[in-house]
Amino acid sequence: MIAGAGPGSRNFFVGLLKTATSLSHLTQIHAQVVIHGLQYDLAIVTKLTHRLSDFKAIRKARSLFLTIPNPDLFLFNVLVKGFSNNESPLSSISLYTHLRNKTILTPDEFTYAFAISAASGFKDAKYGILLHSHSIIDGFASNLFVGSALVDMYSKFLQFELAQKVFDEMSVRDTVLWNTMISGLAKNCCYFDSVRLFVDMVSSGTPFDSRTLAVVLPAVAELHELQVGMGIQCLAMKVGLDSDVYVLTGLVSLYSKCGEIDRARLLFGKISHPDLICYNAMIAAYTSNNDTESSLKLFKELLALGEKVNPSTVVGLIPVSSAFGHLQLTNSIQDFCLKFGILSDPSVSTALTTVYCRLNEIESARKLFDESPEKSLASWNAMISGYTQNGLTEMAITLFKEMISVLSPNPITITSILSACAQLGILSLGKWVHGLIKSKNLESNIFVKTALVDMYAKCGSIVEARELFDLIKQKNVVTWNAMISGYGLHGHGHEALELFNEMLHCGVAPTGVTFLSILYACSHAGLVKEGDNIFKSMVRDHGFEPLAEHYACMVDILGRAGQVDQALEFIRKMPVDPGVVVWGSLLGACMTHKNHSIARLASEKLFELDPGNTGYYVLLSNIYSADRNFPKAAMVRQVVKNRKLEKVPGCTLIEIGEDTHVFTASDRSHPRTMEIYAMLDKLAGKMREAGFHTETTTALHDVEEEEKELMVKVHSEKLAIAFGLIATEPGTEIRIIKNLRVCLDCHNATKLISKITGRVIVVRDANRFHHFKDGLCSCGDYW
């Protein structure tokens, strides 16, 4: 056999194979190898197998491998890796099994690393776990190469606890291992954990490289941690990585996501020869900061340079973060993608689906989703989230159930579906999702934990929400907000205040949402002084400029407490023009405290600002009715009729087992209607004996008093409660959800029903939760 470097030698052919630029070129070289009688030379066959797999000719690589009677371990490893890289995981694992069971060869660290990488291509981690066990038996438990592959594999299957365990048990950790762990967390939305691990890496003295910074910067950007990002930039400068194109590109994205577009532009200008990835980052930077003009200009500049744009370029151009007002641009981008054949790319169709959902163009979004030949997890997430954000919660849940039959959910999927559960208020569905979270090992994710706290609070289980909240060791501001908001919904103002103070004591900086949540809690608990102090502190101590919602909360706090005149004075002193939410809060207070003079003023403003909203007309009419001014109530109702405005019909949902039942006023469509009305009559009799009088002041004025009583008797929440009483075991808690604010009569009636029946009745209305027990309501008749 010729072993020299001349023409026709082993080294000559190996050199040729290294420089081959196409599959046909490889085929010609292979022919010459055969002519020169070197077709069984292991070095040449191994290099040829490697290059064939590089050119995606994995079947030819396999056929070549089979011609070798006694392949060595190196050749086995090359083909195991080739199958893995060519999305043939089963072939890769089969070859590993053959090597282990049918040859005298022993797998080494490279065999395991390549096979474990292949195992990432399956639907679950069972092959990876088996390979992990084999690697431990063969003495590779502490091997860095194998450890990095295992961390990557477990991260892809969202099994972060196992990934962390492998990482923690490595006696020595190199840069690659740290990078793999940081990257796995960042890619799966565990941004806080990713950044925390990077800090640990730096503290440990492990050298970091440009890849380390390139994988941690996106996590910092998603967290909008500008100061942390600036610290990373200083670190890059210190070790001479500040000019690295990947680091600069990451910094461009960071500064743009933190709203620092000028800094992003400056850094982009420092890149002497920006490649397509750099251009993509800057195009996305302009788009995310709502500068579509600059984004389109840079996109056209890229096309003028003759660059062939890729899906990432177009995704950066799509106005995902600022969709409002960009329907025409989105349509144009879709046409461009269709013309150049990239509409079917999962990232492109997902971004377009997201924008259409945000523009409430749900049909366009679903059409894109359905026509996508390859649905990625991100595309499923976009459609599920879109349904949830547009209030189409049942469709979101249906699509989610369809998705989990083909794909495992990630934290984004879970947070979207938990939001849908929270909107519907269906606890059994929320608990089912919680069970799924446990089975998929997603409990460690902070976003999932926070969504669970929010779901339990909004489904009426405030105790379970707090128990989950207390188990979270690393809470972010969103977690604190969810719990404070939950207490507000249930009227637990003092608990919300206590938690707010604890949050400040822990050094967590409040956001505008935090202040909105705590002011809301004060409003529903009658904490006027406390609310006023927090509002002043928000401006004075934390430098927040109040939004319309914050002003509305202060008006609500004063108004609910009966200080309607002070609420009006507060509005008149506002530094900005009061909008719909502010005047709406004042009108609601006028209804509670029957102040028809200020009600007229608030109504005039609301009719001017939002003439199509029926609710304000109904409120004003009810105020007049309560004041027994029936002619004016009739006039208001006539305006509604003349303008053909439609009032949102009241309905109430009750969940029995896994089935939901919806009732409307005077509903007789339920299969058990006879039993329901019989139960209502029975309750009415017992309530009369207890001295209950029907509250009819806000019922229609042009009917007899007896008829008014009958009308309020068959409100949807009463029907739902009656059904709950006949459909559940004695002593069982009854939970109902009302889409409107519960009326005074139903509130009083439910208190008495809870005493008569010995049942706890939990009612979620449009404003808050009411927990009725032994004739009392948790709101203290203050809602």
Three-state DSSP state, 304: helix
Dihedral sign computed on CA atoms, order 528, 530, 532, 535? negative
Q: Which domains does the chain have, with CATH numbers?
A: 546-647 (1.25.40.10), 651-777 (no CATH)
Average pLDDT over residues 493-515: 95
What radius of gyration do the chain's Cα atoms show? 33
pLDDT at 688: 86
Distance of CA 39 to the CA centre of its chain: 56
Take residue 738 and report the two structure tokens written for it: 């009302």
pLDDT tens digits, one per residue of 535-578? 999 999 998 889 989 999 999 999 988 999 999 999 999 998 99
Lowest mean pLDDT among 26-40, 242-256, 643-657, 745-759: 643-657
Contact assessment for residue 46 and residue 110, using Cβ atoms and an 8 Å cutoff: no
pLDDT at 477: 93
Does the pLDDT value for residue 117 go beyond 60? yes
Confidence band, pLDDT 50/70/90 cuts, at residue 17: confident
Confidence band, pLDDT 50/70/90 cuts, at residue 695: low
- Give residue 360's region: left, alpha or beta (phi > 0; psi -120 to 50): left
Take residue 69 and report the two structure tokens written for it: 């009677």
Residues 6+ apart with CB under 8 A from 70: none
> Which stretch of DSSP H or E encloses residue 543?
none
pLDDT at 256: 93
Lowest mean pLDDT among 68-77, 84-93, 247-256, 580-589: 580-589
Confidence band, pLDDT 50/70/90 cuts, at residue 612: confident
Average pLDDT over residues 670-677: 94
Confidence band, pLDDT 50/70/90 cuts, at residue 198: very high
Q: Reduced to 3 DSSP states, what percent helix, strand and coil does the chain have, rounded to the nearest 5?
A: 65, 5, 30
Confidence band, pLDDT 50/70/90 cuts, at residue 450: very high
Q: What is the 3-state secondary structure (H, E, C) of 196-213?
A: HHHHHHHHHCCCCCHHHH
Share of the chain above pLDDT 70, in %: 93
Confidence band, pLDDT 50/70/90 cuts, at residue 2: very low
Does the pLDDT value for residue 644 go beyond 80? no
Of 480-489, 634-643, 696-705, the range with the highest mean pLDDT is 480-489
pLDDT at 36: 85
pLDDT at 708: 40
pLDDT at 704: 42
Average pLDDT over residues 102-116: 95
Whole-number average pLDDT of the chain: 89
Lowest mean pLDDT among 255-264, 350-359, 621-630: 621-630
Bigger pLDDT: 603 vs 478: 478
pLDDT at 25: 86
C-beta pairs of 237-242 under 8 Å, 24+ apart in sequence: 239/208, 241/209, 241/210, 241/213
CA pair distance 426, 420, nearest whole angstrom: 9
User: What is the residue type of 438?
Assistant: K
pLDDT at 640: 66
Bigger pLDDT: 425 vs 78: 78
pLDDT at 502: 96
pLDDT at 449: 95
Contact assessment for residue 544 and residue 538, using Cβ atoms and an 8 Å cutoff: yes
Bigger pLDDT: 232 vs 190: 232
pLDDT at 631: 74
Take residue 283 and report the two structure tokens written for it: 């195009």
Contact assessment for residue 408 and residue 440, using Cβ atoms and an 8 Å cutoff: yes
pLDDT at 642: 65
Average pLDDT over residues 384-396: 91
Confidence band, pLDDT 50/70/90 cuts, at residue 426: confident
Does the pLDDT value for residue 482 go beyond 70? yes
pLDDT at 516: 95
CA pair distance 34, 30, nearest whole angstrom: 6
pLDDT at 701: 42
pLDDT tens digits, one per residue of 58-107? 999 999 999 998 999 999 999 999 999 999 999 999 999 999 999 999 99
pLDDT at 709: 44
Confidence band, pLDDT 50/70/90 cuts, at residue 645: low
> pTM for the complete prediction?
0.71
pLDDT tens digits, one per residue of 713-765? 578 999 999 999 999 999 999 999 998 888 888 898 999 999 999 999 999 98
DSSP assignment of 114-144 equals HHHHHHTTSSSSHHHHHHHHHHHHTT-TT-H
Does the pLDDT value for residue 19 go beyond 50? yes
